[in-house]
Amino acid sequence: MNNQHGKPTPIGGPIMTPVMKICLGLAAVSGLMLIFRFLVGLGPVTNLTDGHPWGLWIAFDVVTGTALACGGYAIALLIYVFNKGKYHPLIRSAILTSALGYTLGAVGVMIDLGRPWLTWKLPIFFWTWNLDSVQLEVALCIMLYTAVLWIEMAPVFLERWETEDSKPKLQAFAKKWTPILMKAMPWLIALGIVLPTMHQSSLGSMILLAGPKLHPLWLTGWLPFFFLISCIAMGYGMVVLETMWSRTVYSRYRETSILTALSPAMVVVLLVWVAARLLNILAAGKIGYAFQLDRFAILFWLEILLFLAPAIILMMKPTRSDKDRGRLFIASGMMVTGGMLLRFTAYWFAYNPGQHWNLYFPSLFEIFVTVGLVAAEVAAFMYIIKRFPILTGRPSAALPT
């Protein structure tokens, strides 16, 4: 790749914009609410019950949130496994989104855990590890991967500190650690590809333990495969959406062509997903469930549609106009929604503990805490891209920043 996109540079500009203030406000309120949650327990503030012990915080913050944060994984796969160096300009913002998304997931878990003060034992007390527990693998992988993501981000911070002549200690620290980090980087990057492959698929295996409580259309040994393939589609979709957002909001003109160039690969991924999903249901003799005219059949076909439609959109002949960007935006939005739907269905809609349990719907408290967490993530993202070299692309002189 030639360096036409330029080196990543901080966006600059004021930090305390109105959007930032709203995000920080939401995050602060949800932080205060959480104090209450830890004083009274989960019952009074959530709609969780013994029948529906997992709700929004697990289904969205952890299971879906980490999948939405798979941009770093998807782009790393492209650059390093498929050797497509031209995607390098996307990697920093993708890894940053991933690091923040996984951190959100980790915080979400700690809020949801009933006895979080014992969590420190989990990575240390290896002799107690139950190797039958799929969740153990998921938990350890997510802990490790979150750390790996922040270490992968470290050069971004070191790069800036190296130039800070006014802070000699920070500067010396950066100068000392940069070469060490660069040597370790290939091993870390490889870890950053293996770990998500492991736990994103295992998030599919994990809910299979619900066994008879899970609707047969989702109770399949292929669920880990569907989770893994869809998280790659979601990661790519999120990178597209995020790139378009920073293009619109921060006027960073990055080539959309390198995004559209990915379309054929995504078409393959999406079609493989749809074909495998249908073949698996057919082979298992479960296709009857898909024609029962109940909410599960509707969810199933909606899922298929949200993976099939973007494939069709991406296969359309490019018009070489603004239309292409619109199509890419819609297709990406659908892929992301499809992956979210799959996770919400497996962990929530298709989970039925028995007739006498009421359907679960999150309380306002649960929703607000999640909104606050996402707001904190957005605030952190905006701060970091303004102060640290994350985004590539030329700022447009014609437009105000």
Q: By CB under 8 A, what part of segment 346-385 binds other proteins? A: 351, 353-354, 356-357
Query: Minimum CB separation from other proteins for residue 147, in Å?
Result: 14
Binders of other proteins among 12-51, rule CB under 8 A?
38-44, 48-51
Q: Per CB under 8 A, does 191 bind other proteins? A: yes
- The burial class, CB within 10 Å (0-12 / 13-18 / 19+), for 380 is middle
With contacts defined by CB under 8 A, name the span among 149-157, 242-250, 327-335, 379-387 that binds other proteins.
149-157
Angle between helices 263-283 and 322-344 in degrees, nearest 10: 30
Pick from 10, 20, 33, 135 the residue near other proteins by CB under 8 A: 135
With contacts defined by CB under 8 A, name the span among 215-223, 248-256, 294-302, 311-319 that binds other proteins.
215-223
Query: Minimum CB separation from other proteins for residue 24, in Å?
Result: 27
Q: Per CB under 8 A, does 190 bind other proteins? A: yes
d(CA 112, CA 305): 32
Q: Per CB under 8 A, does 85 bind other proteins? A: yes
Looking at the Cβ atoms of 26 and 240, the one nearer to other proteins is 240
Query: Minimum CB separation from other proteins for residue 32, in Å?
Result: 17
Pick from 68, 104, 207, 373 the residue near other proteins by CB under 8 A: 207
With contacts defined by CB under 8 A, name the span among 243-251, 258-266, 306-314, 359-367 that binds other proteins.
258-266
d(CA 267, CA 312): 8
Binders of other proteins among 48-67, rule CB under 8 A?
48-51, 53-54
Pick from 18, 82, 168, 400 the residue near other proteins by CB under 8 A: 82
Q: Give the residue carrying structure tokens 């036409």.
A: 4
d(CA 90, CA 1): 13
Query: Minimum CB separation from other proteins for residue 317, in Å?
Result: 16
Q: 160 with 388: CB under 8 angstroms?
A: yes
Binders of other proteins among 259-278, rule CB under 8 A?
261-265, 268-269, 272, 276
Backbone angle region of 182, left / alpha / beta, with phi > 0 → left and psi within -120 to 50 → alpha: alpha
The Cα angle at residue 67 between residues 394 and 298, in degrees rounded to 5: 115
**C-alpha pair distances (Å), 203 with each of 4, 51, 134, 309, 347:** 39, 20, 8, 25, 10
d(CA 86, CA 148): 23
Q: Per CB under 8 A, does 318 bind other proteins? A: no
